[in-house]
């Protein structure tokens, strides 16, 4: 298949959310399955500093905003990369998220459509266009049926920020407004044009589709075969404790001596001199709300009484209060301020448990990262991460995480972790947690299955939502 993936960010060129990594990992996995893949993203200011070598094409694409410069490259996976610059200047990192960015997004989407039409005229058109993220999904309503019978899919990923297309924008790009209204929500436009909607979890599905109307509307979408839950994987080439340069010592699920040495080095660096044989818990507060941060910091004394070593990973805005909370227990509690990707992986490589609080993008990727590095996830049963967690049994034989009830305090949850840590079966269980199949291969094959279903033109998957029905959603 000839697949064209559209996004507004791509790791490592521009990373603002999990969509950047999802786009890169999906494209790599589809290429490994021997499909032709082209990624289209904006030409960001950060391209020059990313080390990417992209050749500027001589002929630009004609657009409403004048013309779009086209830059082309090839990624190590073999996927083709096309970068579009509309307006004569590279895009700032926040160009598509700042207030009033709908016009900028539509101008980029139109350039993508022009690229698709150019390739169709050359006999090299894609079989399918898959937009990664609801903002990037604005390319779908601009792909008219008369242009070509191209499959149209969108992946919905958090964070979700509602957006409205004004009457002026709708008229300029020939998009339909909602009945009795001059405007239309961005999401309604995207879902009205998509033939397949892909979500990494039920949590994400409900976060997007819930605001559109009553639950019955969501069920109507699902009855049409339009909404699919496809759990994501990890890029195991990047997240690999056996070869990760971020770790001082490498290790595998079957030989974790390197993890023990990484743990010892990490503890020494943070001068955690008391209870070196106690379990080390990485308390992840980087995405936590202020109330969740306060809750965690208030429980620091209780965590210490339970006998754990703790590393509090916080945003810079919470550095002072986290440092104050840890100061009374300097030999047992350390603070990491906004650890970068490499530093965060070392923290996971050192930790015995990973305890996250606060927001999540619903993909469960952070939970998979922790498990991959042997930091057993300790997650709340009512949270979005629990969807990817299989609670461990009493014998520590099966399961992938420790799951605690929302009514339990973090101190009580830590008590469960300590009880498990002291069991003889703990070490073998950690090895099994690490040895899970984390790869994107299964997710990529499911995507291909949905692509083929779409291209076969089945009645359920190829129904386009009419304007009246979309507005009812």
The three-state (H, E, C) secondary structure of 361-406, written as one string = CCCCHHHHHHHHCCCEEEEECCCHHHHHCCECCCCCCCCCEEEECC
Among candidates 364, 416, 356, 345, which has minimal Cα distance to 380?
A: 356
pLDDT at 149: 76
- Residues with Cβ within 8 Å of residue 67, at least 6 apart in sequence: 60, 61, 86
Residue 240 resides in a domain: no
* Residue at 183 is within a domain: yes
Same domain, 94 and 207: yes
Residue 305 maps to a domain: yes
217 has a pLDDT exceeding 60: no
Q: Which of 264, 265, 277, 350 is nearest to 308 (CA)?
A: 277
CA 35 to chain centre: 23
Residues 448 and 326 in one domain: no
Contacts of 369 (CB under 8 A, 6+ apart): 234, 239, 345, 348
Q: Averaged over 44-58, what is the pLDDT?
A: 89
Check: CB of residue 164 under 8 Å from CB of residue 135.
no
Task: Give the residue with greater pLDDT, 270 vs 214.
Answer: 270
Residue 99 CB burial class (10 angstroms; 0-12, 13-18, ≥19): exposed
For residue 85, which phi and psi values (nearest 5 degrees)?
-125, 110
Are residue 72 and residue 159 in the same domain, yes or no? Answer: yes
The answer on 45 and 192 residing in a single domain is yes
Contact status, residue 304 vs residue 329, Cβ threshold 8 Å = yes
pLDDT bin (cut points 50, 70, 90) of residue 468 is very low
**141 and 270, same domain (yes or no):** no
User: Residues 451, 3: contact at Cβ < 8 Å?
Assistant: yes
Same domain for 456 and 408, yes or no, is: no
Q: Is residue 246 a part of any domain in this protein?
A: no
Give the integer Cα–Cα distance in Å for 239 and 346: 11
Distance between CA atoms of 196 and 378, rounded to whole angstroms?
34
pLDDT single digits (tens) 222-244: 666 788 999 999 999 889 999 99
Same domain flag for 385 and 458: no
Please state, for a pLDDT cut of 90, what percent of the chain lies above it: 63
Domain assignment present for 249: no
17: containing domain: 2-233+441-472
Q: What pLDDT does 180 receive?
A: 67
69: number of Cβ within 10 Å: 19
Element (H, E) at 32: helix 19-32
Burial class of residue 265 in the structure, from the number of CB atoms within 10 Å of its CB (0-12 exposed, 13-18 middle, 19+ buried): middle
pLDDT reported for residue 132: 96
Which of 28-42, 43-57, 240-254 shows the lowest per-residue confidence on average (mean pLDDT)? 43-57
Residues 416 and 452 in one domain: no
Phi, psi of 5 (to 5 degrees): -105, 130
CATH of the domain at 49: 3.40.50.2000
Question: Does residue 332 form part of some domain?
Answer: yes
CA distances from 126 to 4, 72, 75, 305 (A): 6, 17, 18, 60
**192 shares its domain with 60:** yes
Residues 296 and 365 placed together within one structural domain of the fold: yes
pLDDT value, residue 275: 64
For range 146-153, the mean pLDDT = 75
Asked if 415 contacts 391 with a C-beta cutoff of 8 angstroms, the reply is: no
Rounded to 10 deg, the angle between the 202-209 and 215-223 helix axes is: 120
Residues 379 and 458 in one domain: no
pLDDT at 469 over 80: no
Q: What angle do CA 378, 379, 385 make, to 5 degrees?
A: 130
112 part of a folded domain: yes
Number of Cβ atoms within 10 Å of the Cβ of 98: 10
Do the domain assignments include residue 245? no
Measured CA to CA, the distance from residue 463 to residue 465 in angstroms comes to 6
Residue 462 and residue 359 share a domain: no
- Compute and round to an integer the Cα radius of gyration of the chain: 24
pTM of the model: 0.88
Tens of pLDDT along 266-302? 999 999 876 668 899 999 999 899 999 999 999 999 9
The number of domains in the chain is 2
Average pLDDT, the chain: 88
- Note the pLDDT of residue 65: 81
């Amino acid at each position: 298949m000839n697949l064209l993936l559209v996004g507004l960010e791509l790791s490592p060129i521009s990373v603002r959310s999990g969509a950047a990594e999802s786009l890169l990992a999906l494209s790599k996995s589809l290429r490994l399955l021997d499909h032709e893949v082209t990624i289209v993203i904006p030409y960001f200011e950060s391209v020059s500093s990313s080390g990417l070598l992209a050749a500027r094409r001589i002929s630009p694409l004609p657009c409403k905003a004048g013309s779009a410069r086209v830059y082309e490259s090839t990624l190590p996976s073999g996927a083709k990369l096309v970068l579009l610059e509309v307006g004569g200047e590279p895009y700032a990192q926040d160009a598509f998220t700042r207030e009033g960015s709908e016009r900028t997004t539509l101008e980029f989407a139109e350039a993508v459509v022009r690229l698709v039409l150019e390739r169709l005229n050359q006999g090299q058109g894609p079989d399918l266009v898959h937009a990664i993220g609801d903002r990037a999904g604005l390319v779908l309503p601009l792909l008219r049926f008369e242009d070509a019978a191209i499959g149209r899919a969108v992946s919905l990923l958090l964070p979700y920020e509602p957006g409205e297309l004004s009457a002026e924008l709708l008229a300029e790009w020939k998009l339909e407004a909602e009945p009795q209204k001059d405007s239309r929500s961005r999401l309604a436009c995207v879902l009205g044009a998509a033939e397949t909607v892909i979500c990494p979890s039920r949590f994400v599905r409900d976060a997007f589709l819930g605001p559109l109307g009553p639950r019955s509307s969501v069920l109507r979408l699902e009855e049409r075969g339009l909404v699919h839950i496809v759990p994501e994987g990890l890029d195991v080439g990047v997240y690999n404790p056996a070869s990760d340069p971020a770790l001082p010592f490498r290790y595998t699920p079957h030989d974790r001596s390197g993890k023990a040495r990484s743990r010892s080095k990490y503890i020494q660096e943070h001068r955690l001199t008391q209870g070196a044989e106690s379990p080390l818990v990485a308390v992840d507060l980087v995405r936590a709300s202020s109330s969740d941060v306060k809750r965690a910091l208030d429980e620091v004394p209780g965590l210490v009484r339970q006998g754990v070593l703790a590393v509090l990973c916080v945003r810079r805005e919470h550095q002072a209060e986290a440092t104050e909370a840890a100061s009374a227990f300097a030999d047992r509690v350390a603070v990491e301020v906004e650890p970068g990707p490499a530093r965060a992986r070392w923290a996971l490589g050192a930790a015995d448990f990973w305890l996250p609080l606060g927001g999540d993008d619903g993909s469960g990727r952070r939970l998979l990262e922790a498990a991959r590095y042997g930091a057993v996830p300790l997650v709340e049963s009512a949270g979005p991460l629990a969807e990817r967690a299989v609670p461990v049994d009493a014998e520590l034989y099966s399961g992938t995480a420790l799951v605690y009830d929302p009514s339990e305090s973090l101190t009580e949850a830590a008590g469960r972790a300590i009880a498990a840590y002291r069991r003889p079966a703990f070490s073998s269980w950690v090895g099994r947690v690490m040895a899970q199949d984390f790869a994107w291969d299964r997710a990529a094959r499911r995507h291909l299955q949905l692509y083929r279903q779409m291209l076969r033109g089945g009645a359920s998957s190829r129904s386009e939502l009419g304007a009246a029905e979309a507005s009812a959603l």
